[in-house]
Structure 1
Amino acid sequence: MKPTVNRATQKSVKATVKATAVAAMIGFFAAGAAHAQSSVSLYGQVDEWVGATKFPGGERAWNVSGGGMSTSYWGMKGSEDLGGGYKAIFTLESFFRAQNGQYGRFQGDTFFARNSYVGIQGPIGTFTAGRLTTQLFVSTILFNPFVDSYVFSPMVYHVFLGQGTFPTYTTDQGVTGDSGWNNAVQYTTPDFNGLSGSAMYAFGNNAGDGRSKKYSAQFLYFHGPFAATGVYQYVNFNATPGDLPTSNAFVTPGFKSQSVGQLGASFDMKYVKFFAQYMYTKNDIDNGSFHVNTGQGGVTVPVGPGTVMASYAYSRSNGGLDQTHKSWAVGYDYPLSKRTDVYAAYLNDKYTSLSTGDTFGVGIRAKF
């Protein structure tokens, strides 16, 4: 015979069970939050400019284009507290072209080309693995007035817009490869009173073939108005690495490897900030080798609410195509708010035996 329970008792039991379940859920999530606090953020920037571009030896083109001062991108990053001062971290960042709505810096670019990694951060430093921004790129953009502008920065032109990048003109100057490395691992030290270091290695990812290896090391130092960096980068390309374009990889045949050393410094006097860089590039080819010396100097000067920027870069190779490369640029950046600025800039670019190129325009950049 089944026991009988009145309706009042049933309601009381249901209410008690529901309250217990809710309390258990709250307790579960609270305990999880206490042991593993996590966060995820969305961020990025959109940069568009209007103007004209004439590459050395080429014709002028008028355009609406992206990335005048900084390449447009969006990203996600997050962390989870693992306890004991350690955190799991990840970052996914993708470039895009707002002028046509396409992803990537160019047709065929990797989707998460800016950064794509996961890692562990703790008291002894940070370990990351995936597609990582190169230390040479970090050194290049931190110590020139135009930072990471692929349109107006003379130093970016001399470092990253040379060898194997633009088929518009012929040059064997600049570094091989991208501003990011695939299949890479990196260790970064903690900050020691403004001094930190890092080391990176990128694998070829081909069984029995170690010819596509890359590695680099860097130090960074920030102390009051003074900052400095030093970086060394080596790329072995007896076989073309997977992240180099095969259609226009090298203009000089028989490349074997490339070594790059770069030093940079800046000093901020408040009313003017000085920038200086020197880079030595050694290219090994089948019948010998040749090197390129590169120097850059620049300033930023506060004028009104904005900043005037000026930079000059010079490169000279002692072999290969035996070229001289000279570039200078001036610009003005005006902040409309903390997240939005407008700018105007002019770049003059000259290679030996080629007509002078130049780029000028105005643009707007919004960060989120």
Structure 2
Amino acid sequence: MKPTVDRILKTTVKATARAALSGASLGMLLGMTATETARAQSSVQLYGQIDEWVGATKFPGGGRAWNVGGGGMSTSYWGLKGTEDLGNGYKAVFALEDFFRAQNGSYGRFTGDTLFSRNAYVGIQSPYGTVTAGRLTTQLFVSTILFNPFSDSYTFSPMVYHVYLGEGTYPTYATDQGIVGDSGWNNAIQYTTPDFNGFNASAMYGFANQAGSNGQKKYSAQFLYFHGPFAATGVYQYVNFNSTAGDLDSLLAGYKSQSAAQAGLSYDLKFVKFFAQYMYTHNDIITGGFHVNTEQGGVTVPIGTGYAMASYAYSRSNGGMDQTHKSWAVGYDYPLSKRTDVYAAYLDDRYTNMSSGNTFGVGVRAKF
């Protein structure tokens, strides 16, 4: 069965039970009341994954590089998260998560990346929903990775290439396609509703944190729905700065803002799982805006104890550099255990008026 983001993010039942038992025992020793004991219950979990691959990369218009790389199927990271029971259905929650590059022992996804760039937040969980604040994974990123066969792979996922390897994020080649900004927002606050029979919604707002720049902002809203074999998502995102207030102009003269809307669907027939995504991106420029249409379709097919993956993505801009972007990928993932898998994959990537790019390799991923 294909690994999911949920499995990585959830606190294990055993760890919570041990923490609860430990809190109760301590409460009895100290003569605490039942209410005080419940409020003392807490848990902290260490978790993460290491993903390394060997192969070759050639970006469109560039040359080929053979390498040992990190994050073939998923970016390597480690994290600490915890909860404390506050009583009456309320809990304090926190998470600190750091990307790292096992191939050279460096922290972060690239030189200059911050230490806890995956997530760094604290919040309150209640019967009425969860509020978190800090550096938060964006809702657009969550929808992007949950509804394509290659999930969060920055090496082999066509949809990740079309959404996140572009303008203002990875300037390896000349393009005005892609989403402005990272997969996480700094100085952000988010509210997420409780789960309603597989449905939940969330809203997020990011501040520029700079005096005199209160009009500089980022915001988004999302819904997720999981019911049996069917799943769906819808998300909208708006930004008028990238990293610091007023910096869009450095990407493109007269750049004012960017908005994007994405929808995704999946359906699991057991012998094949279908994925589909559509995204509309509008770039507001002083001299006139332009938009980009992006579509992705893919499948996963169980073969033996593993599964095969295939995905195709297409993007077309109606202005700016007037580019067409086409990518397809195939791969196979084989689990050696519940926590360790090996994989092989190939990606073909093409832009208008550039030589084609492709990436291929084999790798291993271990979760802890």
Normalised to the residue count of structure 2, the TM-score between the two structures is 0.90
The answer for unaligned runs of 5 or more in structure 1 is 1-22
Other-structure match for 2:258: 258
Superposed, 1:1-368 pairs within 5 Å as: 26-28=29-31, 33-237=37-241, 241-242=243-244, 251-368=251-368
Q: How many residues align?
A: 342
Q: SS of the counterpart of 1:109? A: coil
Contact map agreement 1:129 1:185 (CA 8 A) in 2? yes
How far apart are 1:339 and its partner, in Å? 0.1
2:296 touches 2:312 (CA, 8 Å); kept in 1? Answer: yes
State the SS of the aligned residue for 1:279.
strand
1:296-351, Cα deviation, whole Å (9 max, x unpaired)? 00000000010000000000000000000000000000000000000000000000
- How far is 1:25 from its partner? 8.9
CA distance in 1, matches of 2:339, 2:184: 26
Q: Letter of the aligned partner of 2:152 in structure 1?
A: D
Partner-residue secondary structure (3-state), 1:174: coil
Counterpart of 2:361 in 1: which secondary structure?
strand
Alignment partner of 1:288: what SS?
Answer: coil
SS of the residue 1:159 aligns to: helix
Evaluate the alpha carbon distance shift between residue 250 and residue 307 of structure 1 in structure 2; reply closer, same or farther with a 3 A threshold: farther
* Cα pair 1:316 1:324 within 8 Å, conserved: yes
Deviation at 1:30, TM superposition (A): 8.0
Counterpart Cα distance in 2 of 1:66 and 1:268: 30
Distance 1:67 1:249 in 2: 31
**More deviation, 200-209/308-317:** 200-209
Q: Is the 8 A contact 2:249 2:255 kept in 1?
A: no
Distance 1:286 1:34 in 2: 57
Q: Which amino acid aligns with 1:286?
A: I
Distance 1:24 1:113, change over 3 A: closer
SS of residue in 2 equivalent to 1:193: coil
Provide the C-alpha distance between the structure 2 equivalents of 1:266 and 1:191, rounded to a whole number of angstroms: 19
TM-score computed with the length of structure 1 as normaliser: 0.90
Where do 4+ consecutive residues of structure 1 move more than 6 Å? none
Q: Distance in 1 between matches of 2:223 and 2:38?
A: 36
Residues 252 and 208 of structure 1, relative CA distance in 2, 3 Å threshold: closer
Higher mean alpha-carbon deviation, 202-211 vs 306-315, is at: 202-211
Counterparts of 2:171 and 2:249 in 1: how far apart (Å)?
10
